[in-house]
Each structure stands twice: as C-alpha cells, then as structure tokens.
Structure 1
Amino acid sequence: MPIRAVAYVSTACSEIAEHDAPGIGSGRLDALVEDAARFNRQAGVTGVLLFDGTRFFQYMEGPEDGLHIVYGRVLGASSHRDVIELQRGIVGRRMLPFWPMRWLPTDRAQVGVLAKADWTGFKQRGDAAAIKATGMDLVTSVVEPHLLAG
C-alpha cells in the first residue's frame, strides 16, 4: 500500500499564538499535539508540526484512509485558520516513521521559506542549502537533528 503525504501552512488561533510562542511556553500546543499523536497512532499517520509563534507548517504521512481521516480532522480544527495546502500525494517512503506527531519550534522565516518552496511530488534533491532546495529538503534539514537526538 503506498504511503501518502500532505504538507500545509496555516495561521495559529490567537490563543495559541499569544501563549505558545517558542520560548514562552507550550501548554495548549503540547496538549493539542499529544491528542493528535494518540489519534494519529491509531490511524497509522506520522508527522511533524513546526511552529514559529504565529504560523504552523505541518507535514504528515501515512496510508490513504488514515491520512484522509487525520487531515479532515486538521481542516476542522479551531486551533488554526487560513490553511494553505502545499502538496498532497504519494511518497516513496516515510520520512518520520517513529513520530505519530511532534512539534518543533522554528523561526518566523522558516515557515515562510517552506511555504514558498517547491513541493512538486515531494521530491528531495538532498541539499537544503542549494538554491533550488525542495520543500522536502528543507523539512529534512529542520527535522534531522531532532531525529538523531531521539
């Protein structure tokens, strides 16, 4: 069964943006991500949520039926608004097989760079520093140090 993925950006609701900015605290966001991780585990979906204090970037992957249910839940969530889907499609393999969901703080520029990146086919060129780095190259560069750390 092929693994599918979705990547999107959105704007945090004011309650999260005001109280869960990186370095300030993450109570509501932590609870939200813990709930998502429980749900995603049952659906077979894995992924990462990057948060810059105002905006989210999320990449998630899994079987088509599980991803459809999880993404539907995401679209209906009151924790964010202005969802812009960057790409949806088949990926060759899971990038995040061990994270049902995890959030990582990032700087404000990173979400903007991810939103403008090339998401065509979830391709990877393997060099996030290259001028033509793809969205997947950039996500890999942000996530990889955390994968190695556990």
Structure 2
Amino acid sequence: MEQLVYVSTSRVMPDSATIEAILSASRRNNARDGLTGLLVTGGRRFLQVLEGPSEQLAAAYTRIRADERHFALVQLSRRPIVARSFADWSMGFEQGYATSLASVVEQLTERVADPDLKAQFRSFAEMHSQPA
C-alpha cells in the first residue's frame, strides 16, 4: 500500500458545481479502486493525498495528470505505508469558506499520526486560508 501527495492549480477558479463533479467522480472511482484520501482547496490550488494499493494509486494519478482542468501538478511525496491516515474517507473534502481553511484542516488532520503529512496539509491551509 502506498500514499501519494500532490498539489495542482486549477486553470480557472472552480465553482461549486465543478468541485462537486470532481468529488463525485473521485468518490466513485476511489470506492471502486480501494483508495482513500483527502482533498483540500484554497482558491485555485488543490492539495490531495491518496492512499491505497500501488497499482490503483498509479492509475488514479495518471487520470488526474491527464485532467485538463488543472496544471502544474507537483508530486510532493509517494511512499509505502503500513496504515492509512484517511481510512474512513473515499475522498474527504474541505473548502475553507465557512471558516478559515487553516482551522478546518487543523481539525481534519488532528488524528493523523504522520507529522510530515500533517505539516503539508496545515502549511497549505495557512497559505491559502480565506476567512469568511
């Protein structure tokens, strides 16, 4: 089992319908492929972690890279893991508009044991936080 973390930039500011379409497809595909993870958006930037079987993870990342709605994909890490950090989420999602993105991500990552993964998400949220 592996974990992959990447960041990307949307070509346009995503509206709620676009994000819902991304989430719907992600949740369907991830459930089918045994993947779990978390997607966080801040403006046009996306940070995502995916976890699961290596072959399915590679196929998902290939689909993501081919998606023309975004560019500048940067793989931040890819490594073997023993246990999932987001085992209960086919694709958790947060967009920090109701409160600050930083406070939402802090709550979402509270139980994440891996300090590096937690720091990646919290740093992203601090940089892209949008208070209400």
**Which of 67, 71, 79 does residue 81 from structure 1 map onto?**
71
Question: Which letter maps to 1:10?
Answer: S
Q: How far apart, CA to CA, are the structure 1 residues paired with 2:122 and 2:82?
A: 18
The verdict on how the C-alpha distance between 1:140 and 1:52 changes in structure 2, with shifts beyond 3 A counting, is: closer
Whether contact under 8 Å (2:40, 2:93) holds in the other structure is: yes
Which of structures 1 and 2 has the bigger CA Rg? Answer: 1
TM value normalised by structure 1? 0.65
The TM-score with structure 2 as length reference comes to 0.74
Matches within 5 A, 1:4-43: 4-14=2-12, 17=13, 19-20=14-15, 26-43=16-33
Q: Deviations over 1:54-111 (max 9, x none)?
A: 100010000011111111111111221100110011112101112111321148996x
- Give the percent of matched residue pairs that are identical in Structure 1 and Structure 2: 26
SS where residue 93 of structure 1 aligns? coil
| Conservation of the 8 A alpha-carbon contact between 2:35 and 2:53 | yes
SS in structure 1 at match of 2:119: helix
CA distance 1:58–1:91, shift in 2 (3 Å): same
SS at match of 1:92: coil
Deviation >4 Å, runs of 4+: 107-110, 139-142
Shift of 1:140: 7.1
Q: Secondary structure at the match of 2:9?
A: strand
**Alignment coverage as a number of residue pairs:** 111
Q: Structure 1: 5+ residue runs without aligned partners? A: 21-25, 111-122, 126-133, 143-150
The worse-fitting range, judged by mean Cα deviation, of 73-82 and 99-108 is 99-108
**Gap runs ≥5 in structure 2:** 103-112, 124-132
